[in-house]
Chain A
Amino acid sequence: MPQQSNYLKETPSQTAGPYVHIGLAPGAAGFEIYDQELGQDIVGPNAKGERIRVEGLVIDGIGSPVKDVLLEVWQANADGIYPHPEHAGHETVETGFRGWGRVITDFETGEWAFDTVKPGALTGRNGQKMAPHINLWIVARGINVGLNTRLYFDDEAEANAADPVINLIEWEKRRKTLVAKRSERNGQIVYRFDICLQGDDETVFFDI
């Protein structure tokens, strides 16, 4: 018999189900229980950088909006620093900047949105510069393992063209699925980012 390793196996994932809000956004489920729900303020009041709104839909393989999705957001600050002790410079991140948030879709329309600041570029592997991006994790009924993707910005064309992660996608026409479109509405900067789970314009998802 071969020797045993002492490694454990990761706990397998299961769907978050349709009632994920009860645990992670109970106010949306219809009841108040916690003093503070986590994930509602991504950057805090002191964040440097350009204030932006990000919004979109998650669309299924039929072309219909998914109305029971929960997204989590993870991003660096405007200087490209994550508020995490393993990221060099983390002591400089503004007080109150969490970089993480939870977003749910409207039950009727499927629209979701969050307010944040535009993150800065940061250094990836081997000293390569990564274009500004927001990391997203998507869970819902019917999704067995949370889906990871990245949101990039269409006004960062030069940085995007050099981004080492975007360039890993061999099909150039798929790269645009990761790029949010900038517009201005009533003086506010809005980026539109629709996520297509399946089909012709399927969003690129990563095994991170």
Chain B
Amino acid sequence: MTKAPPKQGEFYQRDRRWHPPAYATDYKTSVARSPKLALISLENTPSEITGPRFGHSDITPIDNDLLSNYAQPDQSPIGERIIMHGRVLDENARPVPNTLVEIWQANASGRYRHKKDAYLGAIDPNFGGCGRTMTDENGYYYFRTVKPGAYPWRNWVNDWRPAHIHVSVFGSGFAQRLITQLYFEGDPLIKTCPIVATIPDPAAIDQLIARLDMNATIPLDTIAYKFDIVLRGRRSTLFENRLEGN
């Protein structure tokens, strides 16, 4: 039997002014896909505090290596070889250990391996474009991949997504579930992108920009970017009669 973890309380409320609003005119698809009515706020119950758990039996060690997880033997995808690494922390700056991190992205040409993507950029026969890993006991994770290319999309007629990697993270409770996008330091497209601009606060946008990390670079092999992810934190105490009642 596993030992019960230390008692933790409810999640801090999500700051909905820090996150993008549902409705953002310049990101056109959001116009018809955003609720008009206000969200109903819930205090946490067991349904929100708990969430799915994953283990190393769910994944294989190669799953975090996009340079090899879809490549033919002795071959490698074309593009800038990068390490993407960082920690998953909570708002209390505590590491989030043993949590699942999943990523997906276009290849170096900006082409996705998806049957609905018809962009002219070429498919790379040695690149799938998805990866997953578990954070270690200190909340640390890493992937190897290629830097994705910019990508045109039908929003305004000449819109291009900045180079980006989609990131999905779980945490320990369903209330922490998060999908976001990583951008790359210095990319001039970040300022032009209507999806980036759904986020109102420039400081929040900064939090999505991975920094070039020369110290994690492998000389003559792979350059590195650092991307820390912050999930909702929890209060440290909980009055017994508030939540559990069992």
Interface residues of A (CB under 8 A from B): 6-24, 26, 29-31, 33-36, 38, 60-62, 66, 68, 72, 74, 76, 82-89, 91, 98-100, 107, 122-128, 130, 133, 135, 137, 139-147, 150, 165, 168-169, 174, 197-199, 202-208
* Chain A residue with Cβ nearest B113: A31
Among the listed stretches B47-55, B73-81, B184-192, B213-221, which one makes contact with chain A, having 4 or more residues with CB under 8 Å of it? B47-55
Contact with A along B210-237 (1 / 0, CB 8 A): 0000000000000000000111110000
Least CB distance from A135 to B in Å reads 5
Q: Which residues of A contact B232 (CB under 8 A)?
A: 10
Whether A135 pairs with B16 at a CB distance below 8 angstroms is no
Least CB distance from B232 to A in Å reads 6
* Chain B residue with Cβ nearest A147: B35
Contact with A along B55-66 (1 / 0, CB 8 A): 000111001000
Q: Which residues of B contact A165 (CB under 8 A)?
A: 42, 45
Knowing that A144-B24, A165-B42 touch, tell me 18 more A-B residue pairs with CB under 8 angstroms.
Answer: A9-B230, A12-B18, A12-B208, A15-B30, A23-B129, A24-B102, A29-B114, A38-B58, A83-B53, A86-B49, A100-B52, A122-B47, A124-B45, A124-B245, A141-B29, A144-B34, A145-B20, A198-B32
Q: Which residues of A contact B37 (CB under 8 A)?
A: 174, 202, 204
Whether A142 pairs with B19 at a CB distance below 8 angstroms is no
**CA separation between A122 and B196, bound complex, in Å?**
40
* Chain A residue with Cβ nearest B199: A12
Least CB distance from B25 to A in Å reads 12
Say whether B72 faces chain A, with CB atoms less than 8 Å apart.
no
Least CB distance from B79 to A in Å reads 16
Least CB distance from A87 to B in Å reads 5
Q: Which residues of A contact B114 (CB under 8 A)?
A: 18-19, 21-22, 29-30
Least CB distance from B119 to A in Å reads 11
**CA separation between A208 and B195, bound complex, in Å?**
24
**CA separation between A140 and B82, bound complex, in Å?**
28
Whether B91 pairs with A7 at a CB distance below 8 angstroms is yes
Leading 3 A-B pairs by shortest Cβ distance: A23-B104, A142-B29, A127-B245
Whether A8 pairs with B128 at a CB distance below 8 angstroms is no
> Which residues from 1 to 44 on chain B have a C-beta closer than 8 Å to any C-beta of chain A?
1-2, 4-5, 8, 13-16, 18-22, 24, 27, 29-37, 39-44
Q: Which residues of A contact B198 (CB under 8 A)?
A: 14-15, 144
8 Å CB contact of B15 from A9, A15, A99: A9
Q: Which residues of B contact A125 (CB under 8 A)?
A: 43-45, 242-243, 245
Whether B129 pairs with A22 at a CB distance below 8 angstroms is yes
| With A26-B130, A125-B43: A11-B92 Cβ-Cβ less than 8 Å | no
| With A66-B33, A87-B46, A137-B177: A206-B5 Cβ-Cβ less than 8 Å | no
Whether B47 pairs with A29 at a CB distance below 8 angstroms is no
Whether A14 pairs with B50 at a CB distance below 8 angstroms is no
| A and B contact pairs by CB, cutoff 8 A, 8 listed | A22-B104, A22-B105, A82-B50, A87-B46, A123-B246, A142-B33, A145-B22, A147-B35
* Chain A residue with Cβ nearest B241: A126
Whether B44 pairs with A208 at a CB distance below 8 angstroms is yes
Say whether B138 faces chain A, with CB atoms less than 8 Å apart.
no
Q: Which residues of A contact B41 (CB under 8 A)?
A: 206-207
| With A9-B18, A11-B207, A125-B243: A85-B178 Cβ-Cβ less than 8 Å | no
Residue of B36, B49, B166 contacting most chain A CB atoms (<10 Å): B166
8 Å CB contact of B230 from A11, A68, A83, A85: A11
Whether B115 pairs with A197 at a CB distance below 8 angstroms is no
